[in-house]
A and B are shown apart, each in its own frame.
Chain A
Amino acid sequence: MPSKFKISLSFVLTLVIFWLVGLNIIYGCITVLSKTQNRKPVFEPGYQFEDIRKILKQEKIVGYLTDRNISPEKNDQEFLLAQYMLAPTIVEVNNHSYQFLILDYTNPSAVINKLKEIKAKPIYKNMYNKVLALQRP
Chain B
Amino acid sequence: MTLIVPYFISFLAGLCVVLSILKDNKRSLSSLFLISVSFGLGLALCSMSTFFCTILFEGYHPLLILFLNVSLTALLGCLNIGPLKRFSAQLLIEIKASIKNGFVWAGSIFYIILCFYIRFAASLHPWGDWDAWALWNMKLKFILYNGADWTDIFHKLHWHTQPDYPLLLPMMNAWGLCLYPQYPQINAPMMTSILFTLLGVLLLYSTLSLFIPRLHAYLASLICLANPYYVYKATAQYADTAFTYYLLGCLVFLYLAVQYKERSFASILGLFLGVLSFCKNEGIAIFLLIASIFLLSLIIHKEISNPTRKNIALWFLGSFFFAAVATIVLKFLAPANRDILTNLNGQLSYFNWEGILLVKKHILEEINDKRWVHIWHIGLLLSVLGIPKLLRRDIWPITVFLLSYFIILLFIYLTTTTMDLSWRLKSTVPRIFFYLMPAMLFITFLIHFKKDPAKDR
Binding site for B on A (CB under 8 A): 9-10, 13-14, 16-18, 20-21, 23-25, 27-28, 31-32, 35, 39, 42, 44-46, 60-61, 70-73, 75, 77, 79-81, 83-84, 87-88, 90-93
Residues from chain A with Cβ under 8 Å of B284 in the complex = none
- The complex places the Cα of A27 from the Cα of B228 at a distance, in Å, of 7
Contact assessment for A73 and B419 in the assembled complex, using a CB-CB cutoff below 8 Å: yes
* Cβ distance A129 to chain B, nearest Cβ, rounded Å: 21
Most B C-beta atoms less than 10 A away, residue of A28, A60, A81: A28
25 contacts between A and B (CB under 8 A): A13-B385, A16-B381, A17-B378, A20-B223, A20-B378, A24-B222, A24-B226, A24-B375, A25-B226, A28-B117, A39-B124, A42-B126, A44-B127, A45-B133, A70-B160, A71-B419, A72-B418, A77-B134, A80-B160, A81-B133, A84-B141, A87-B141, A88-B141, A88-B150, A90-B152
Binding site for A on B (CB under 8 A): 117, 120, 124-127, 130, 133-134, 137-138, 141-142, 145-146, 149-150, 152, 156-158, 160-161, 184, 215-216, 219-220, 222-223, 226-228, 231, 373-375, 378, 381-382, 385, 418-420, 423, 448-449
- The complex places the Cα of A72 from the Cα of B389 at a distance, in Å, of 43
- The complex places the Cα of A77 from the Cα of B161 at a distance, in Å, of 11
Residues from chain A with Cβ under 8 Å of B448 in the complex = 10, 13
Residues from chain A with Cβ under 8 Å of B226 in the complex = 21, 24-25, 28
* Cβ distance A67 to chain B, nearest Cβ, rounded Å: 17
Q: Which of A18, A23, A28 contacts B374 (CB 8 A)?
A: A23
Contact assessment for A88 and B157 in the assembled complex, using a CB-CB cutoff below 8 Å: no
Per DSSP, are chain B's interface residues mostly helix, strand or loop, or mixed? helix
Q: Which of A20, A39, A60, A83 contacts B158 (CB 8 A)?
A: A83
Q: Which of A24, A42, A44, A80 contacts B373 (CB 8 A)?
A: A24
Residue of B nearest to A73 (CB): B423
Residue of A nearest to B125 (CB): A42
Contact assessment for A90 and B423 in the assembled complex, using a CB-CB cutoff below 8 Å: no
* Cβ distance B107 to chain A, nearest Cβ, rounded Å: 12
Besides the known contacts A17-B216, A21-B223, A72-B423, 4 further A-B residue pairs in the complex with CB atoms under 8 A apart:
A24-B228, A60-B149, A72-B419, A83-B161
Contact (A84, B375) CB under 8 Å given A28-B226, A42-B124, A72-B419:
no
Contact (A80, B134) CB under 8 Å given A21-B223, A24-B227:
yes
- The complex places the Cα of A13 from the Cα of B227 at a distance, in Å, of 19
- The complex places the Cα of A81 from the Cα of B381 at a distance, in Å, of 42
- The complex places the Cα of A42 from the Cα of B150 at a distance, in Å, of 29
Contact assessment for A73 and B222 in the assembled complex, using a CB-CB cutoff below 8 Å: no
Contact assessment for A88 and B134 in the assembled complex, using a CB-CB cutoff below 8 Å: no
Contact (A79, B375) CB under 8 Å given A14-B216, A21-B222:
no
- The complex places the Cα of A73 from the Cα of B422 at a distance, in Å, of 9
Contact assessment for B161 and A20 in the assembled complex, using a CB-CB cutoff below 8 Å: no
Closest 9 CB pairs of A and B: A24-B226, A88-B146, A87-B141, A31-B228, A73-B423, A45-B133, A80-B134, A28-B228, A84-B138
Contact assessment for B133 and A24 in the assembled complex, using a CB-CB cutoff below 8 Å: no
* Cβ distance B139 to chain A, nearest Cβ, rounded Å: 8
Residues from chain B with Cβ under 8 Å of A9 in the complex = 385
* Cβ distance B381 to chain A, nearest Cβ, rounded Å: 8
Contact assessment for A32 and B382 in the assembled complex, using a CB-CB cutoff below 8 Å: no
- The complex places the Cα of A83 from the Cα of B219 at a distance, in Å, of 43
Contact assessment for A23 and B142 in the assembled complex, using a CB-CB cutoff below 8 Å: no
Residues from chain A with Cβ under 8 Å of B145 in the complex = 87-88
Residues from chain A with Cβ under 8 Å of B378 in the complex = 16-17, 20
Contact (A28, B184) CB under 8 Å given A21-B222, A45-B127, A91-B158:
no
Residues from chain B with Cβ under 8 Å of A61 in the complex = 156
- The complex places the Cα of A73 from the Cα of B157 at a distance, in Å, of 19
* Cβ distance B158 to chain A, nearest Cβ, rounded Å: 6
Contact assessment for A10 and B449 in the assembled complex, using a CB-CB cutoff below 8 Å: yes
Contact assessment for B184 and A44 in the assembled complex, using a CB-CB cutoff below 8 Å: yes
Residue of B nearest to A93 (CB): B158
Residues from chain A with Cβ under 8 Å of B117 in the complex = 28, 32
Residues from chain A with Cβ under 8 Å of B423 in the complex = 72-73
Contact assessment for B420 and A42 in the assembled complex, using a CB-CB cutoff below 8 Å: no
